[in-house]
Amino acid sequence: MYARGAQLIKLKHHFSNMIRQYRKSHREKSDGNELSLAEKANKLPKRYHAFSTPIVATPDTLNLEESTTAIFRLMSVAELAHAINTDIIGNDPRSSSYHALKKHAHLHMPEHVQENNSNLILSFARDATSAANYAGINVLPNFYALVRTNLPPVFTVPADHAMLDQSVFDSYHQYYRAKEMHTCHENGTKYTPPVNASILSRSQQEVDMVINTPNGTCDFRPMANEMILNINFICGGFRSYTFVSDPAPIAHLPMRRDWAIEVLCPVDERNYSKMLASSRDKTLIPPYSRPLTVDDAVAIFPELIRIFPASYNNQHSHVHILKYVPEDYPVGSPRVVQFLIKEHSLFREQHSCVTEIQHDYMDRNLSPRVHKE
């Protein structure tokens, strides 16, 4: 506990210093004819002059090395501050915050990709560039934090849903197109055909953290102290962005969690059956097995965090992605939990993890997850 607290205090200290230095930094002038971000900012009304101008750095100086188990999220400064201060990644969808209220509690992948309106999903990107590009979307300049993280405890990949069953995305596209046509007709505006969510999912290459279930039965949100690896700040606006290199990026030594649960979020039984068959045909899972769902994660998650918690004592950097179980194991049953705990124990033995584990799962009658209020 002391080591974890010291890490958080250090991270808060670096973060506070970073913000203070940004606020005191001076704007730089551009030598060329093209207006720099700083010069554009100076032309704004005075109320926007609080946005300081970063020092440009090339991405290869920012410790953004690729990793199969590292993902990236572009956060607002407020979101990052909330994560550091609460040691929790993501907002509680049951809260009365503006972010929670303006979105809906669903795990419908085509709708999430098309409208970004789910408060149960937090989007990450596979690479730093894809995440950083969002900094240039807004016209007005602002600071953002490009956060490199570990995989969340429970995650899903929208592009996999489109690959495994295109029909659900096509059906939603027909609905969304009709809704947009009606809205444009009502408002008297020009109609622009939307892009199919399956195409968007493949181009965005998101890896999405699952925050909770639609019924609010299990809070999957991880500690910030086990997720955040490093933080780079970006100043974005005017359809462009630039990295900040002064002061240096915040590097954080997190606790290590060596497992992550990958789930599918089917719309209905028919959708799940199609994705199951496609997963086998594409050899994404072994024969006679089935993919995990969010209902499985509700049963698995509390047992894994109890038996295999994030720790500074884990002596390997490998992450075991749990994504399937034998096909005859009922969804969310104790057999699913026992199977995955045994699988992860074997994984740890293979990678010589020196964390002491009490192997009591074979003798216990494991019950499904009951939400902890």
Do 198 and 87 share a structural domain?
yes
Domain boundary among 251, 271, 299: 251
Per-residue confidence (pLDDT) for residue 153, from 0 to 100: 96
Cα–chain center distance at 316: 23
CATH number at residue 225: 3.90.210
HSE-up (13 A, CA, CB side) for residue 91: 20
- Predicted local confidence at residue 103, as pLDDT: 87
Task: Tell me what pLDDT residue 69 has.
Answer: 74
- Tell whether 157 and 212 lie within a shared domain: yes
pLDDT on residue 246? 45
* Token reading at 363: 């003798």
Same domain, 17 and 95: yes
Q: Are residues 227 and 271 in the same domain?
A: no
**Full residue range of the structural domain in which residue 49 is found:** 2-161+191-251
**Predicted local confidence at residue 134, as pLDDT:** 77
| Rounded Cα distance, 106 and 121, in Å | 8
pTM for the model: 0.77
| Per-residue model confidence (pLDDT) at position 33 | 41
Phi, psi of 327 (to 5 degrees): -65, -25
pLDDT digits (tens, 9 = 90+) for 80-134: 888 888 889 998 888 766 565 678 899 999 999 999 899 999 999 988 888 877 7
Tell me: do 155 and 268 sit in the same domain: no
> Same domain for 231 and 263?
no
Regions of the chain where pLDDT drops below 70 = 1-68, 96-101, 136-140, 237-252, 314-316, 352-373
| Residue 178 in domain | no
Examine residue 310 and state whether it is found in any structural domain, yes or no: yes
